[in-house]
Amino acid sequence: MLFNQIVFGPIHSRRLGVSLGINLLPEDIKICTFNCIYCECGWGDEPAGATHALPLHCGETEQIIPVLEKKLQELQAQNIHLDSITYSGNGEPTMHPQFGEITKNLIRLRDRYFPQTIITCLSNSTQLHRPDVIDALREIDNPIMKLDTGIQSTFELINKPFSKISVTEICKALSEFHGNLTVQTLFLKGELDNGVKIDNTTETEVSAWLDCLKIINPHTVMLYPIDRETPAKKLEKIEKNVLEKIAERVGELGIKALAYS
């Protein structure tokens, strides 16, 4: 499923409430540093320019901000409540080369039209080498950063990065948020198309993941299962009681844990 608008919704999100989505990426293709086996946008191709460039038809700040302001004006006039304005869309939003500038403008518009609404970014944590991305994520209310496993080999099976990305490096970068972030983790099990078994709920997997959380020390962790059709067809939804048991172990670290079904 691809989003064919810059601004979409509001939608009712199981994690964020009434959420207005922002898609900074092209309408016809997924642009991401990952090719996750569970991605609701389906399989993707390696981004143009290897990992960091976007196609020339990707929206500029001057195109995106007026569309967003018009939508916020309409929602305000209709007295519609928003819990979150959320970067999401067709891939990894922080890959947009003007992410920092767009975020400055988004904060300005939020403060004008919906000052009580939080700004969220759903990110895969791979663009934290960019100072503009780090600065922007620190400025918003709710950076939700993905970490599906603490084991490199599993990371490569689940997230299928297009370039060499280290779980250790991601953890180190996330630790520099000094706790002002949420970590989101999707738990799954099943079989890949090549017959390889996968399960990030085993004791080995959970222990390694918890070790990463100790390093990152987020204020909140969101645990959730598959909720939509996945590109890899032989994946199974994890039961709520399994997620709750893992959440209990997160709580023992002094970190708030939210398990979704």
Specify whether 192 is located in the same domain as 119: no
- Pair 203, 124 in one domain: no
Q: Are residues 199 and 241 in the same domain?
A: yes
* pTM value > 0.85: yes
Do 144 and 181 contact (CB within 8 A), yes or no? yes
Task: Read off the CATH number of the domain in which 243 is found.
Answer: 3.80.30.10
Local confidence band at 57 (pLDDT 50, 70, 90 cut-offs): very low
The span from the CA of 176 to the CA of 160, in Å, is 25
Number of domains into which the chain is organized: 2
Residue 239 has pLDDT above 90, yes or no: yes
Mean pLDDT, the chain, as a whole number? 90
Mean pLDDT of 219-248: 93
* Residue 154 resides in a domain: no
Is 196 in the same domain as 239? Answer: yes
**Which domain range does residue 45 map to?**
1-146
Query: Could you tell me the CATH number of the domain that includes residue 74?
Result: 3.30.750
Q: Which of 176, 170, 166 is nearest to 135 (CA)?
A: 176
pLDDT on residue 5: 82
pLDDT tens digits, 174-189:
999 999 999 999 999 9
Q: Model confidence over 148-157: pLDDT tens digits?
A: 999 999 999 9
- 157 in any annotated domain: no
The rounded distance, in Å, linking the Cα atoms of 102 and 32 is 18
And the tokens for 198? 């996968």
Residue 117 pLDDT more than 50?
yes
Tell the burial category of 222 from Cβ atoms under 10 Å away from its Cβ (0-12, 13-18, 19+): buried
The whole-number average pLDDT for the span 75-84 is 96
Mean pLDDT computed over 117-131: 95
Residue 232 has pLDDT above 90, yes or no: no
Same domain, 239 and 116: no
Whether 44 has a pLDDT exceeding 90, the answer reads: no
The predicted structure's pLDDT at residue 55? 44
Residue located via tokens 């939509």: 228
Residues 184, 212: Cα–Cα separation, whole Å? 13
**Looking at the domain assignment, is residue 159 inside a domain?**
no
Q: How many degrees, rounded to 5, is the angle at CA 211 between CA 208 and CA 212?
A: 95
191 and 227 co-located in one domain: yes
